[in-house]
Structure 1
Amino acid sequence: MFLRNAWYVAARENDVADKPVPVKILNEKIVLFRKTDGQVAALEDACPHRKLPLSMGRIKGDEIECGYHGMMFDCSGSCTRAPATDRPPPGARVRSYPMAVRYGLLWIWMGDAALADSDTIFAVEHWGDPAWGMNQGDGMEIACNYLYMTDNLLDPTHVAWVHQSSFASAACEDTPLQTTVADSGVTVWRWMNDVDPAPFYAPFLKFKGRCDRKQQYEVRYPSHALIKAIFTPAGTGGEGQPLHEDVFIMDSYNFMTPIDENTTKYYWFQMRNFAPDDAEVSRQFATSVRGAFEEDRVILQAVHQGLAEKTSPNIDLKIDVGPLRFRRRLAQLIEAERAQAAQPAVAETA
């Protein structure tokens, strides 16, 4: 179900302060806590003695103390103190997880720690560029499997019905989609030419009248997405064409972290090529985006429930090519990872 040798967002950076923070990722319970140098550590959230969550304990310096009998654990997961003993007993340790900080988010590596490379975290092209503005990120919990969210983020057509007052325009209903497959993931995209701007974007365009609009929905393995919205004056857009000087670009970064098979934590922020220092524009976008994603949440939770309780088969449509290709390749990556993990055990048995 999950790809483990990958980076996932564990929390927003400011979610972890001076107390232990419990999170659940890929069905594993983890405690996050901040060290004296400001870095964040992540440990298995269960004391090896009686499995009390370490998140119910206390931070002491760079270590965490169990709230039951005072066993202490450092950031590597090693026990440094146990009550009434000169040295901690064998097995007195918990799993630790590699962590990294990017874009105001705390990233966690859920697989083999030896393979963790922070340079492979999803790159944000214009982060820190003074010419680009940022719409402050947010997060929400959605009661659905994360693959229904990757389906949604590889489906430009759904905006015509789910987001009628924001992202939609008439062209969103029937303009054909293109699908591009790469080693990193799948992209579904299309240009819609000489159309009315969608209500969400229209107030921020530098030009008047109709437009050429590109929807580009890219999801990378295991569950991170870049949604690119491009608007240019009608007659100036199209694949391979230079971008007009009045082009509007908004890059929406979306990070899905599976909590378990039925629940997903969703984090996001947007980068825009205008009004870099305008706090009011950022506020308006943040509010509108949150509202649109709330519309998605209602749909996705109902889809999860409907598919879980279905009494007849569901069907696929032509618009599902991108999501289905993404799922197929992700399943292959997960199976290959499992097979690789099983190899040492097989050799040992032999």
Structure 2
Amino acid sequence: MTVHAHIADAIKVPDLVRLGPNLYVARFETMKVYSTLVAVERLLADGRIQPGATLMDSSSGIYAYALALACHKFGLKCHIVGSKTVDKTLMLQLRILGATIEQVEPQATLKMDQSLRVARIRELLDADPSVHWMQQYHDDIHYDGYEPVAQLLLDSIGGAALSVIGGVGSGCSTGGLARALRARDPAVELIGVQPFGSMTFGCQHIEDPGIIIAGIGSSIPFRNVRHGLYDEIHWVSFDYGLSGSIALLREHAVFAGLSTGCCYLVAQREAALRPERNIVFLAADTGHRYVDGVFAQHEQALALADLQPTRIDSLDRLVLPWSAMAWRRADFDDAAPAPQVLPLPALAAVS
């Protein structure tokens, strides 16, 4: 058994669980700890930050906890500009860890929430330029921390071709993992999951009537998202994501967050349709902060066997509650109506 020098080193490693013949989940307690620890360590080593410096960023939850843990480990100060999705449990942990946190006022849309948080960060930087803005959305140093996760997957899952499914968010977790895996096998497939209302892959014109699925979408440009890494994109509604989270707990006893429910919805279908491939999906966090918003509504969950995506070949055909599109590692111009990709082949229904 390994004895760790800090709790962050212990909780950063995911648990890899086999859920079916070709279906696996990489379950993190909090996924962004890996990349944040590596980023902070390299910033210190390169002299970009000094011992005792204050690190700051915007977060809806997972990254805030990861940054607070990294600052605690390396003896740095931490300041978070958070959304109202940062719940009481996390808020108390952050404060006891020594982080300072301020929350912006609740906003009607993801765009307003993220824009307000970034504007506040710029105000703080103007007031104190010595503070280092981590820029999880824009600094590609956050890509570097996922190489050990890639090695874990390669060491643990062998044989068949591999597909990885995860929320896009800032782009670093799925992008960093795919980059590391493809250094060894360029054929590794990456399937990204997005919420409706996210501009990252051109869905800002469709708002989810449920709630914002925090953390996996964006209403402002994220430079760390490298569209050309993704083979396919799925857009999933809150109701379908909730159903995925409930099914994952009910069927496999895995208690994970809302974005994980979205990924499980996609992954279990991919595993059934493509038995020749190993399917791994990422569970970014536990389900604790979703108890009231998701798990308390378990009686409203839909049976996953009854849910099918609408297959589309252009972004102007996006439709709730679940759309899927072959991206084929295309680049994306935010001003363009659709990326240049080929039409999707027809897929058989899942029995």
Assess same fold via TM > 0.5: no
TM-score by length of 1: 0.25
Q: Normalized per residue, which structure has more strand?
A: 1
Q: Normalized per residue, which structure has more helix?
A: 2
